[in-house]
Every structure is written in structure tokens, then in C-alpha cells.
Amino acid sequence: MFNRPSKHGIHDSPGADEDPQRAWLAFREYGPLVWTPRNGGHWVATSGPDVAAMFRDNHRFSSASVTIPSVPADRLLPLEADPPLHADYRRAIMSYLTPVRVKALEPEIRALAGELIDAIAPRGQCEFIGDFAHHLPLIIVLRLLDLPLSDRAYLHARTEIFARHPDLQAKIDAYLEVRSYLELRIAERQAAPGDDLISHLLRARVDGRPFTPQELLSTCTMVTFAGLDTVAAMFGFVALFLARSPAQRRFILETPGQRPLVVSELLRRYATSNMGRVLAEDVVHGNVTMKRGDHIMLSPSLYNLDPALFSEPERVDFDRSPRHITFGTGSHTCAGAQLARMEIQIFIEEWLARIPDFAVSTTERIAARAGPVNTLDQLPLVWRPEIN
């Protein structure tokens, strides 16, 4: 039953500085559907089955606006498109990120991961987020888009603001700066196309026609924001869990055949992206009426950590075969999910091959937060380099 409005919002959930995914569970005390006046006012669905059903219900829960608060700007495609047109936008990306192409990236990703780890291993310590997590996925996305690696810091800073900053004007400014940057890159690719994703989209078709300039810019902006942010956040939570779990590290090293299940279970426990939807019509759910135009936040963590769906959901159990929704579910399932899984598995394998024993530093703090993207801002790790 609906009880009362939440006293907190998605950026200040209790305990978010220690466990951002668990912090989402605080909304459950208010009922299966919770209203918070924060960030412009919106609902939060707290039941796991409701979260999954609303993700799949494109008719009533539209993706026309997925950010909370809503950013008054052009749509990010295909993220902010509904079926049936959404399928064309998504197909344009998926026809580039084919399983064969993604698999072919493995040697490059593995080599890059090894280089990054080899550079920090002799030091015996690192600030993992800045020294590793923000490097590997960013470099891979920049190479997919054929953007200069020297632009990494510029794009990362604006992606951070757009994904996590609570101030709406700051989000808009970051969004517009990235779009202006990409406009120039698209113009360069129109003059000299290549084999990159931007060039591929220039040749793609949507609804039987080429992308309009606005659609092309929007799609490239979405790929940039998504690729530069969420995988880095996943790396942080995986590294934190492994740093605290020597028995699980040994299990991973001793059972290489189980590593896909290991990745799946870690993805279940440590979901990063939370997505907004906007009500396309009035919806009555239980004793609650949500009005057309209302916004609702759907957090995969509220599905992945639902005890009605998973036994002891907050415990990482590598014997599970979890059907999580960390990458969403339904027609909007993340187009880069296969690439993200591969990057995470490669990171685990290459890190543990070089630094099998490591821990969280006791002299520096871990900085974590919840929000549209659950993330770690700082993760200090230590190890004994002479034994690795």
C-alpha cells in the first residue's frame, strides 16, 4: 500500500555513501510506488516485478524523457525513442556492434587492460577510479567513434556532469558542449568517412531514409555519454567487491570456466544505470493514480535486490545463474551489453593475473554515491608489489 511521500531523493538516499545499490531499498519503506518532490518531483517503483514490467511497457511508460530531472533538450536516440521507430535507431547501432565485431575487439581490450595494469602494479597502490576505471572504457569508446584519445579528459568531465550532477542547468551546459564537439567530428567524417561507428551511422537508414543531421548528432551524443560512463562505474564496484573478498578472488582464479557466471552475478549485485520514464497516459496502480506527464524512476537495483526474486539478494553468490536487469529489459535493453560484459571479464582476468592479492586502503576513504548512475568517485587500493 502507498504510505507517504519519501523524505529523500535519488541523490541522497540513506547509506548511498557506503552502498549505492542498497540505498535504493530505502524507498521500499514508503510503499510499492513512492512519490518524492525532489528533482522536479517524480515516482519511484520499488517492487522488482513492477520495475521490470514498467521497463517493458513502452505504451504507458514512455522513454521520451529518461533523465530526472528532465533535461529540456533534443532527444537522445535511440534511448529516448519509443517503438516502433526505436527499433530502427537501435538497429543502426546494433548492425555495427555485431557479436563478431565485438568479439574481434577482445585482443585490443585485453592488451590495453594489461598495459594499464602493468603501469600501476609496481607502485603497490592506486586510486582505482582515476588510474584505471576511467581509462579503459573511455579509450575503447573513443576508438569505436574514432575520436582523438587526447579528448578523453574533456569528454569525461562533461559526461560526469550530465550523468550525475543534480543541477539542471549544469546538465544542459554539459550536454550542449558535447553536442557542439560532436558536430565538428561528424562534419570531419562526412568529408572523410572511415570504418568507425560515426561513419557507419552516416550510411545507416531509419524508417527507410538516412538519418537527419539532428538524429545523427543525437545518436552519437547518446553513444558517447553511455560508453564513457556506465562501464567505468561497473569497474569500480567490481574492484571494490574483489578487494574485500579474498576467497572469491581465489575462486575466480581457480575456476576459469565459471567467469561468465561471475560477471553476471556481479552485474546483478552492482547495477549502475537507473532510468526515468514519463507517463504517456494516466495509470492506476493499486491505490495510486499516476498522471499523464508524471515522471517515474526505474532502478534495476530494486529488481536485482528483491528478496522475492533472489535468495539473500545482497549476497554475491557465484553459484547463481541470475536473470538480472542491470542492462534494462525489453526493447530498450542496452545495445552495448555484450561489449560491457566482455570488458568487465577481461578486467577481472587481467587484474587478477597481475595483482591477485589486494585490499582497500585503510588510510584513505571510499567515495560512493547513488543517483541516475550509481558510482564510486574514489577507490584507494593497496597491494604488495614484490609478491605479484
Buried b (16+ CB within 10 A) or exposed e, 102-113: beebeeebbebb
Residue 388 above 80 pLDDT? no
93 vs 223: CA distance, rounded Å: 9
pLDDT of residue 90: 95
Residue 220 above 50 pLDDT? yes
Residue 1 above 60 pLDDT? no
Domain ranges of the chain: 20-387
The contacts of residue 205 (CB under 8 Å, 6+ apart) are 88, 92, 211
- Identify whether the C-beta of residue 161 lies closer than 8 Å to the C-beta of residue 228: no
The contacts of residue 100 (CB under 8 Å, 6+ apart) are none
Identify the three-state secondary structure at position 363. coil
Residue 128 above 50 pLDDT? yes
Percentage of residues in the chain with pLDDT exceeding 90? Answer: 79
pLDDT of residue 242: 98
Give the orientation angle of helix 213-227 with respect to helix 136-145, to 10 degrees.
Answer: 160
pLDDT of residue 10: 87
Query: DSSP code of 73?
Result: S
Residue 294 has a CB neighbour count (10 Å cut-off) of 16
pLDDT of residue 386: 66
pLDDT of residue 175: 87
246 vs 371, residue with greater confidence: 246
Q: What is the pLDDT of residues 315-343, one digit of tens each?
A: 999 999 878 999 999 999 999 999 999 99
pLDDT of residue 4: 61
Q: What is the pLDDT of residues 6-42, one digit of tens each?
A: 878 888 888 999 999 999 999 999 999 999 999 889 9
CATH code reported for the domain at 20-387: 1.10.630.10
Q: pLDDT-derived band of residue 2, with 50, 70 and 90 as boundaries?
A: very low
Q: What is the mean pLDDT of residues 344-368?
A: 97
Q: pLDDT-derived band of residue 226, with 50, 70 and 90 as boundaries?
A: confident
Bridge-based pairing of strands 209-210 and 42-45 is: unpaired
68 vs 28: CA distance, rounded Å: 19
User: One-letter amino acid identity for 195?
Assistant: D
The contacts of residue 302 (CB under 8 Å, 6+ apart) are 24, 25, 27, 28, 44, 45, 46, 47, 48, 51
Q: What is the mean pLDDT of residues 90-118?
A: 96
Q: What is the pLDDT of residues 62-88, one digit of tens each?
A: 999 998 888 777 888 999 999 999 999
Mean pLDDT estimate for the chain: 93
pLDDT of residue 172: 87
pTM summary value: 0.93
Q: What is the mean pLDDT of residues 282-298?
A: 96
